[in-house]
Copies of this chain bind each other. A is one copy, B any other.
Amino acid sequence: MHASNRPLILVTNDDGIYARGIRSLVEAVRDLGDVLVVAPDKPQSGMGHAVTIHGVLRLERVDYGEGIQAYSCSGTPVDCVKLAIYQVLKRKPDLLVSGINHGANSSINVIYSGTMSAAIEGAIEGIPSAGFSLLDHSIDADFEASIGVARKVVTRMLSDQHLPEGLCLNVNIPRARPEDLRGIRVCRQAKARWEDAFDHRTDPTGKSYYWLTGEFKSLDTGEETDEYALHHQYVSVVPVHFDLTAYHTISHLQQWEL
Q: Which of B191, B237, B242 contacts A258 (CB under 8 A)?
A: B237
Which residues of chain B come closer than 8 Å to A49, judged between CB atoms? 48-50, 111-112, 117
Q: Are B153 and A189 in contact (CB under 8 A)?
A: no
The 8 A CB mask of A214-237 against B (1 = contact, 0 = none) is 000000000000000000000101
Closest B residue to A51 by CB, please name it: B46
Q: Which of A2-10, A62-70, A160-168, A172-180 binds B? A: A160-168
Q: Are B241 and A244 in contact (CB under 8 A)?
A: yes
Q: Are A46 and B56 in contact (CB under 8 A)?
A: no
**Integer count of this chain's copies in the complex:** 2
Given contacts A156-B258, A240-B244, whether A117 and B52 have CB atoms under 8 Å apart is: no
Question: With the chains together, A241 CA to B244 CA distance in Å?
Answer: 6
Interface residue tally on A, bucketed by range: 35 or more
Which residues of chain B come closer than 8 Å to A46, judged between CB atoms? 50-54
Among A111, A186, A200, chain B packs the most CB atoms within 10 A around the CB of A111
A193, CB-defined interface residue at 8 Å: yes
Q: Which of A21-29, A75-83, A93-101 binds B? A: A75-83
A1, CB-defined interface residue at 8 Å: no
Q: Are A111 and B244 in contact (CB under 8 A)?
A: yes
A158, CB-defined interface residue at 8 Å: no
Q: Are A258 and B152 in contact (CB under 8 A)?
A: yes
Q: Are B249 and A238 in contact (CB under 8 A)?
A: no
Which residues of chain B come closer than 8 Å to A210, judged between CB atoms? 56-59, 83, 87
Q: Are A111 and B250 in contact (CB under 8 A)?
A: no
Q: Are B87 and A53 in contact (CB under 8 A)?
A: no
Closest B residue to A74 by CB, please name it: B209
A-B contact pairs, 11 of them (CB 8 A): A46-B52, A46-B53, A51-B212, A82-B196, A83-B198, A111-B242, A164-B252, A188-B250, A237-B253, A238-B244, A241-B249
Interface residues in chain A, defined as those with a beta carbon under 8 Å from any beta carbon in chain B: 43, 45-54, 56-59, 76, 78-79, 82-83, 85-87, 108, 110-112, 117, 120, 124-126, 152-153, 156, 160, 162, 164, 166-170, 183-184, 186, 188-189, 191, 193, 196-198, 200-201, 207-212, 235, 237-250, 252-254, 256, 258
